[in-house]
Structures are given as structure tokens and as C-alpha cells.
Homo-oligomer: A and B are copies of this chain.
Amino acid sequence: MKAVRFVGEHAPPTMQDVEKPTVRDPHDVIVRIAGAGVCRTDIHILDGAAPLQPAPPPPFTLGHENAGWIDAVGSAVSTVSVGDPVILHPAITCGICMACRNGEDMYCTSTRFPGVDGTDGGYAEFLRTSVRAVAPMAKGVLPATQAPLADAGITAFHAVRRILPELRAGSIVAVLGVGGLGHIGVQLVRTMSPARVFALDLTPERIELATRLGAERGFSTDDPDFPAEFLKASDGKGADVVLDFVGEQNSPDVALRILRPGGTYSIVGYGGRLSVPTVAMITREIRILGNFVGNYRDLVELMELQRQGRVAVSAKEYPLREAPRAVEDLRRGRILGRAVLIP
């Protein structure tokens, strides 16, 4: 079958012929891929800055944000059948360690992460995963268009879900970066909490997208007066929470500048550095949270919101063979929402 693979640092993603995966374990599931989202993490891997260290050696198939149909199942699988539309939790988990028992799938002690840790991912016609990773989709939904919920969506959901206890009526959440994750984050804060959303980005198109999706106001982080205006718009208080979907360049500095004392800075994007004197942590009682993908339960709940029409993905489709162009478009900020590869 065709697969687009990481073949070495600084090489473009490359289409190759590989063997179709088959059921090897009673809990295995083979998924025929309908769509696979393109993520900034793919760029980090291609650039030799993989999030998991030591970086897994090439070659392997990229793609950790996948949806499709069940193609084959192992002997112990009874909860899904061939032909079912499914979305895939990014990780393959054991189900017996204490993390799995607590629902903390990303902490499974024997986890695998297709498309990221060297296990073959979903930039391909088929993918092997486990029955524990597949979540059924509502009838009538086209899996391809929903693929971004598998990683961009689950990660945004996880980050938003974790700040819900902070959010009261009148709270202000600053969403920093309205890209693949951020445009979902705006909707989730709006539909899951009584908070207000202020959106921050560089480009007018994205700020406009955010306001269309429920943000009360938008700010251009290019504008040198923006922190002062933000402060004014929040009655001098600042943001109760900053959700940083960028995490690189100066985004930590921007976030801390607009955060109120006692507020929460929640980091989702990465690539940069957080640097702050401890005295500022103390006197302003700052709280900082890192976020790493999300739990299976997060994915199930997100799909329920999608089913109810309370969250929608803005996606742009590319044929699988045009993966290099999709990656390049993402790198250059040309995508509004998320790019999805269609085999």
C-alpha cells in the first residue's frame, strides 16, 4: 500500500510502497484510513526536533491524527465491527497498568504512539492499532472531515477541560493562536463554560474565524499596543486563563504579560522556552500547566459535542500524495483550520 514516511531529518515527507498491516494480536484492529490530519508535530519531526527523545530513527510512516473505517479485527474484539466508522485515539495502551485504570491513557507504562514514536502512523491507506484506541463515530459523519478531532481536537479538549474548574461567569480566556487547535479551543471554551473568549493571533483571517466561532474580541499580537488594549478590554484585570496554542517564539512572554495575578497559563504548543523569575511566580501567584494530548474519554466526549453540533472542524483536504505541499502550507501559515490528507 502507499504510505508517506519520515525518511530523514530535513528530507521532505516521502511516499513509499509498504506492506499493508495485518492483525497480529487478539486486540488488534486494522483501520482503513479516511483522513489523516497534518500537525505541527510532523514539522518538528521532519526538522529533527521530535517531541519524544531520543528521536525515533527513520524511516516510519507519519500521521498521528486519524479516522477511517474498521477493516479487520482480532479475535478478542467485540465492540466494533468491520465497516464501522471510527476515530482513533493517538496512543495504543495496555489497559492493565494503573495509568490505564485511571483513564490516563497518555501515561500508560507500555504506550505506543503511531506516527510519532517510530510506530507506523496514518499517512497511509491502512493503520494497525488496538481496540482500546478506536472510538465509534456518529452515523452519517464522514470520517475524513473529523480526523483533526483525533489530535488537534482531543488536545484542545483536554486543555480546556482541565481549566473548567477555574472558569466562572465573567472569566476571560485568552486563546493565543487560532490555528488547527486554537479554532477548536475557542468553540470548546464557549460551549463548555460560562467564560468569555478573547482571541489573539497575527493574521486578520484567523482573528475573524475566532470571532465567528464565539470569541467576543480579537487582538493582533503584532500590534505593539495590544497588551495595553487587552488590559483595558478586561477592565484592567487581565486574562484569567491564557491558552497558548503556539508555545514558541515569544508566546510565553506574551502570555505572562496579559495574565492576571492568580491566573493560569496553560501551554499546548511547543518549541520555545518559558523563562520567569521565581519572584514573579510568587507575588503574582501564577499557575502554569503543560498539556500532552488527551485521554480516550476526552475523545469520546469531544465526539459527543461534535454529534450535537457544538463543535466543528475547519479542514482543508489534500490528496495523500500531496503531503509535502500540505506540510509546506502549514509551515507557511497558509491553512485556516487544519489540513487533512485523503488516501
A contacts, CB < 8 Å to B: 49, 51-52, 79, 95-96, 98, 100-104, 106-107, 131-132, 164-165, 168-170, 191-194, 196, 247-248, 252, 261-262, 267-292, 296-297, 300-302, 304-305, 308, 310
Contacts of A102 in B (CB 8 A): 103, 297
Most central of A269, A271, A289 by chain B CB within 10 Å: A289
Please name 15 pairs of A and B residues whose Cβ atoms are closer than 8 Å in the assembled complex, sorted by A.
Answer: A51-B279, A51-B282, A79-B96, A102-B297, A191-B194, A194-B310, A248-B278, A270-B282, A271-B278, A275-B275, A278-B290, A280-B290, A283-B292, A285-B289, A288-B288
Q: A273-B275, A274-B275 are in contact. List 13 more A-B contacts (CB 8 A).
A: A101-B103, A106-B285, A165-B165, A194-B310, A267-B278, A271-B278, A271-B279, A274-B277, A274-B281, A283-B290, A283-B292, A284-B292, A287-B289
Most buried by B among A52, A165, A269, A282: A282
Least CB distance from A123 to B in Å reads 22
Q: How far does the alpha carbon of A287 sit from the alpha carbon of B101 in the complex, in Å?
A: 22
Judging by beta carbons under 8 Å apart, are A292 and B300 in contact?
A: no
Taking the closest CB of chain B, its distance from the CB of A268, in whole angstroms, is 7
- Complex CA distance for A296 and B100, rounded to whole angstroms: 12
**Contact pick for A282, options B107, B278, B290, CB 8 Å:** B290
- Contact, CB under 8 Å: A284 / B278: no
Tell me if A296 and B169 are in contact (CB < 8 A). Answer: no
Q: How many chain copies?
A: 4
Q: How far is the CB of A327 from chain B (nearest CB, A)?
A: 19
The complex places the Cα of A308 from the Cα of B270 at a distance, in Å, of: 34
Q: Which residues of B contact A289 (CB under 8 A)?
A: 285-288
CB distance from A45 to the nearest CB of B (A): 12
Bound form: Cα–Cα A288–B285 in Å: 10
Shortest Cβ gap from A162 to chain B (Å): 9
**Pair B170/A304 contact, Cβ less than 8 Å:** yes
Residues of chain B contacted by A248 (CB below 8 angstroms): 278
Q: Which residues of B lie under 8 Å from residue A104 when comparing CB positions?
A: 262
Residues of B within 8 A of A267 (CB): 278, 281-282
Could you say which residues of chain B place their CB within 8 Å of the CB of A192? Answer: 169, 193-194
Q: Are the C-beta atoms of B277 and A98 separated by less than 8 Å? A: no
Which single residue of chain B is at the shortest CB-CB distance from A169? Answer: B301
Bound Cα distance from A98 to B300, whole angstroms: 10
| Beta-carbon contact of A169 and B302 below 8 Å | yes
Q: Report how far A49 CA is from B283 CA in the complex, Å.
A: 13
Asked if A272 contacts B283 (CB within 8 A), the reply is no
Question: Are A308 and B268 in contact (CB-based, < 8 A)?
Answer: no
Given contacts A103-B103, A170-B304, A300-B98, contact A285 B291 (CB under 8 A): yes
B301 to A170, Cβ gap below 8 A?
yes
Q: Which of B272, B297, B301 contacts A101 (CB 8 A)?
A: B297
When the two chains form the complex, which single residue of B52, B252, B275, B283 contacts A283, counting CB atoms closer than 8 Å? B52
* A274 neighbours in B (Cβ, 8 Å): 274-278, 281
